[in-house]
Amino acid sequence: MSSKNHMKSKICNCKCRCQNDNCNIGPELNPNTYLPEDALENLKILDSVYNRMKKSFVHFLSDVTALYMNLAEAQDPNKLVLVENLKRFNLLQQSLLNEIKTTNETKFTDLSNAIPTIISTSSIEYFSKKGGSTPKDYFDKLKNLNSRRLFVKFQDDTKIEFLTIPSFIFNLDGGNDALTVQISEYSNYLLSTNNFFRNADTKISFFINADTNDGYLYKDSNGVYYPDRKDAYNFEDNIKDSVQSVLEFYESIINLGDLNDIELENGETVAGTDIHLILNTLDLNLKRVELAKRMICLRTNQ
């Protein structure tokens, strides 16, 4: 049967708008609702997406470590060495975001993207991690992106929510050397009636990297390279301070939340990045995927 005849004889109202006689997502199913075989296939896809996201973050950390070692071990580094090192770091940031964007656009069986994701470039004036700025500050005015609920419909017409996929908003503030992410996850709890009550999504913001001092790590508003905590002076005379400042920045990324990298005047400390928390979030969602697979298989084989 041709595609034209297929559409005439059987209008497919599923989200995939397929032109296949074997379409198994009937018009009676709502978006994000799948038959068991498609639900299991989508869980396999989601498992792969989460693992690829983890791999991207691990590679980012490995590459930043390599930049750190190259700069730390350089013999008498000059301005060119530092500038080239920082250019490579900027490429690493963009490469990470490109990988995440491509990975999360992996398609489910209905041709929808696996994980809701936005990448933005919002900037904050006078951002300062040492001054108390937080990653959440970047997302107060950005577009909201909620998590995605997935349902499975069994042969007896029972429909069950088998998984909720968190959304990710990444923001790169090039002027302040801050890369942040907001993860929006579902929130529900069990009522006294043994029914689940769904709250609004819980939104958590993380640093992937951020200037550890005043928000302008290595260049001024004109793009001229200067060390941290300095307004203007002869760059070549202070190259060691510049290198040390950039090494401190790399250390704050590699240390994964180590509280020993930034000292405040009141004696307290500010953590480095939150990449370990992001990786923990991905691991938790991988476990949820496995539990959802088990639930569908058990329910299907009853």
**Residue 190 confidence (pLDDT) above 50:** no
Mean pLDDT throughout 173-192? 78
**How would residue 219 be classed by pLDDT, with cut points 50, 70 and 90?**
low
Mean pLDDT throughout 81-98? 91
Q: Could you tell me how far CA 86 lies from the centroid of its own chain?
A: 22
Give pLDDT tens digits for 256-272: 655 444 554 555 545 56
Give pLDDT tens digits for 268-294: 545 568 898 899 999 999 999 999 999
Q: Is the pTM for the entire model greater than 0.85?
A: no
**What ranges make up the beta strands (E) of the chain?**
33-34, 117-120, 148-153, 159-165, 167-173, 178-190, 196-209, 262-263, 269-270
Q: What is the mean pLDDT of the chain?
A: 78
CA distance 287 to 254: 26
**Least confident among 85-99, 125-139, 191-205:** 191-205
- pLDDT at residue number 1: 37
8 Å CB contact between 30 and 262: no
